[in-house]
Amino acid sequence: MSNMTLNKTSCTLVTVLLLLACAAASAGCTGTNADENGSAAPTSPEATASPGATPAQPSSGGLLGEEEARSLAVAALEREMPGIRIKRVVAEPYDVQTYGDVWRFRVKAEDDPDLEGDISVWIDAADGEMVYFLDGRDYYRSADPAITIDEAEGIAETYLRDRNEGLDVVKIAAVLSTLDTPLGNRTGPYHFAYRRSIDGVLCLYDGIVLDIDSIDGRVVSYHKAWRVSDNDTMTDPAPSITKDAAQDRVLAYLNATCGTDPGDIAVRSTGLLWYDLAAQHRRSQDPVTVPLAWRVEFDDEWYRSQDPPRTATLWIDAHSGEVLSAAYYSCI
């Protein structure tokens, strides 16, 4: 089974979730809290601002304001973590340039030893949907996994079905993570990444990431990136340019643009995806065009000499043959 190692800082989600690289992972779990009769007893969160932080700004343009989003955040956590006793909910600065129209809250539970709180929840300011949560209260357990990766995958699939999301995604990664802590490596959660499927073709960015606790099987982290909308223009999902023609286009482009001898290039993989980059970067509700594209991974002698070996990538429009983007050191 493959593993990935994270540290506690990396458990905080950064800008765009890179489902492509399966790098967004998180950690931990604790048991729920209940009163003497075993029933949940959540407390009211304090509406406070982080010491020294810029206060969250009110949203506009018909989007949810902070207090509405805060109430939805609390309700979402009570659904995801029944019995949670919330002590404090702190709004992070509203940063549309980095995160889009999303309210981000950091939550401290009564049993959380971290002074600022190890629970996060994000609320979409447009529709009030929870798009991310993380329960990271327990980073330092040394126990081996108590459930298998197959059992964890079953839990993940049930969770997606319950949210009516299981039919629109395809699993692309399933690994057991380990955590880099001051006490050394510790067992982390199982990490599952799914890509969104539209007309039988996977998206480059849109998708879902789930973390399942490897001890008790709880869902401890969820993130949904779903930026392609029904208003966006999708091209024909059947390519006009074949896989072989796309590879030939890459070789011709590298020769003409970078002076690379086609004989020096080895194509490693070619796949068809929706190139939904424009949908990820837009700052309004205006529709965008999402092209169908061939993603061609390749290397040359320099890439093969690296430790570990690396690959470069070119994206080719599957209908026009246009080079949409190139990540190749000789062309940068």
Read off the pLDDT of residues 258-270 as tens digits, 9 standing for 90 and up.
Answer: 889 999 999 999 9
- DSSP class of residue 35 equals -
Pick the more confident residue, 166 or 201: 201
pLDDT at 106: 94
pLDDT at 176: 93
pLDDT at 142: 63
Which of 18-53 are b and which e, b meaning 16 or more Cβ less than 10 Å from the residue's Cβ? ebbebbbbbbbbbeebeeeeeeeebeebeeeebeee
Q: What is the mean pLDDT of residues 215-222?
A: 92
Tokens 């709180």 label which residue? 117
Whole-number Å distance between alpha carbons of 159 and 75? 17
Phi (first) and psi of residue 252, to 5 degrees: -65, -40
The answer to whether 54 and 104 are in contact (CB under 8 A) is no
pLDDT at 291: 96
With a pLDDT cut of 90, the percent of the chain lying above it is 58
Q: How many DSSP H helices and E strands does the chain contain? A: 6, 16
How does the average pLDDT of the chain come out, rounded?
81
**Where does the pLDDT of residue 4 fall: very low under 50, low under 70, confident under 90, or very high at 90 and above?**
low
Tokens 């470069």 label which residue? 312
Q: What is the mean pLDDT of residues 223-234?
A: 90
pLDDT at 330: 73
pLDDT at 304 over 90: yes
For the whole model, what pTM was predicted?
0.75
The answer to whether 235 and 218 are in contact (CB under 8 A) is no
Q: Which helix (H) or strand (E) holds 71?
A: helix 66-80
**Where does the pLDDT of residue 167 fall: very low under 50, low under 70, confident under 90, or very high at 90 and above?**
confident
pLDDT at 13 over 60: no
pLDDT at 47 over 70: no
Query: Domains of the chain: which residue ranges?
Result: 3-225, 234-331
CATH 3.10.450 assigned to domain 234-331? The reply is yes
Specify the range with the lowest mean pLDDT, choosing from 63-67, 177-181, 223-227, 297-301. 177-181
Whole-number Å distance between alpha carbons of 332 and 326? 9
pLDDT tens-digit profile of 239-260?
999 999 999 999 999 999 988 9
pLDDT at 211: 95
